[in-house]
């Protein structure tokens, strides 16, 4: 393994060389090329943990192409998922998106699991864009934060009511489902208000998310690079690069 991919520690010493080599051998390669010609302006932000000796994580931005398949826009290896690293990653992502002349910048809709670092950086760097929250993560939090105070309640049933509130096409229908929840669980009020319903409820969301309501495509990417996450850093980055290249040529 070490002879093929190098050691965990040693690979950090040649990472700068690897980055220069990629630029020198692929001087005209730009990640946005396939993105602007075939994808909807819907960008999923997420992270996945690295499994090698030095840990860390990968920050990623992905989208869906015209066939509803996974398309990688950008990814970065960082030491941890925090505000500083998300700001650094999204600063460079913003520069790439601004260079895409065929898509107006304010038409991009961002999608996330509501990590505080992502919320902060979207508000900072993408102020004119819409930010949608993943319903699956929100329902999980609803169960953990609210339903634990009501142990006798049917978690499956009330989770379905919460989902109905999210999918409701009209404001009246949305408010009725929320009313049903609050009548049975008054403690849910703070959770619902703080969750910013305008970022997850269909009846309140002002942007366009093309029927997408979960962050599943980002989870697919995490699973797609599962094997690479165990490799030393250079082998990991190159493994992902080759996977992306092969996918784009299929």
The dihedral region occupied by 124, where left means phi > 0, alpha psi between -120 and 50, and beta the remainder, is: alpha
Residue with tokens 């619902």: 192
CA distance 24 to 18: 10
Higher pLDDT, 189 or 66: 189
Residue 241 banded pLDDT, cuts 50, 70, 90: confident
Average pLDDT over residues 123-141: 95
Residue with tokens 């001087």: 27
- Average pLDDT of the chain is 86
Q: Which range has the worst mean pLDDT, 101-105, 183-187, 233-237?
A: 101-105
Long-range residue pairs from 207-213, CB within 8 A, at least 24 positions apart, any chain? 207/109, 207/129, 207/130, 207/132, 208/107, 208/109, 208/130, 209/42, 209/109, 209/111, 209/130, 209/132, 210/40, 210/42, 212/42, 212/64, 212/111, 212/132, 213/132, 213/134, 213/135, 213/166, 213/167
End-to-end CA distance of the chain: 28
Average pLDDT over residues 97-125: 90
pLDDT at 230: 86
pLDDT at 54: 82
Residue with tokens 């919320």: 119
% residues pLDDT > 90 (the chain):
53
Higher pLDDT, 28 or 172: 172
Average pLDDT over residues 183-209: 95
pLDDT at 196: 96
pLDDT reading at 36 higher than 80 = no
Average pLDDT over residues 141-153: 94
% residues pLDDT > 70 (the chain):
84
76 CB-contact burial (10 Å; exposed 0-12 / middle 13-18 / buried 19+): middle
DSSP 65: B
pLDDT at 2: 47
> Which class would CATH give 1-133+215-250?
alpha beta
pLDDT reading at 173 higher than 50 = yes
What pTM was estimated for this model as a whole?
Answer: 0.83
Q: Apex CA 226: angle with CA 223 and CA 228, to 5°?
A: 140
Higher pLDDT, 17 or 1: 17
pLDDT reading at 5 higher than 90 = no
Closest by alpha carbon to 202, among 210, 194, 191?
A: 210
Provide the residue ranges of all domains of the chain, joining segments of one domain with +. 1-133+215-250, 135-208
Q: Which range has the worst mean pLDDT, 53-62, 133-142, 239-248?
A: 239-248
Residue 242 banded pLDDT, cuts 50, 70, 90: confident
Residue with tokens 């999980």: 140
Average pLDDT over residues 71-76: 90
């Amino acid at each position: 393994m070490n002879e093929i991919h190098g050691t965990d520690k040693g690979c950090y010493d040649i990472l700068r060389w690897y980055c220069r080599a990629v630029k020198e051998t692929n001087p005209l390669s730009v990640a946005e090329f396939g993105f602007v010609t075939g994808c909807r302006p819907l960008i999923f932000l997420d992270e996945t943990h690295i499994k090698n000796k030095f840990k860390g994580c990968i920050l990623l931005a992905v989208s869906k192409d015209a066939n509803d398949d996974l398309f990688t826009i950008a990814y970065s290896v960082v030491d941890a998922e925090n505000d500083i690293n998300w700001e650094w990653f999204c600063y460079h992502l913003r520069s790439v998106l601004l260079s895409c002349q065929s898509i107006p910048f304010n038409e991009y809709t961002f999608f996330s699991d509501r990590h505080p670092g992502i919320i902060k950086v979207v508000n900072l760097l993408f102020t004119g864009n819409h930010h949608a929250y993943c319903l699956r993560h929100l329902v999980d939090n609803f169960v953990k934060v609210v339903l634990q105070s009501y142990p006798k309640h049917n978690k499956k049933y009330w989770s379905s009511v919460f989902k109905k509130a999210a999918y409701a096409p009209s404001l009246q229908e949305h408010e009725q489902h929320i009313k049903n929840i609050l009548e049975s669980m008054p403690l849910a009020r703070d959770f619902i208000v703080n969750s910013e319903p305008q970022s997850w409820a269909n009846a309140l969301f002002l942007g366009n998310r093309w029927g997408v309501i979960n962050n599943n495509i980002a989870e697919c990417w995490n699973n797609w690079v599962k094997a690479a996450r165990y490799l030393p850093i250079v082998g990991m980055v190159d493994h992902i690069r080759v996977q992306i290249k092969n996918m784009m040529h299929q």
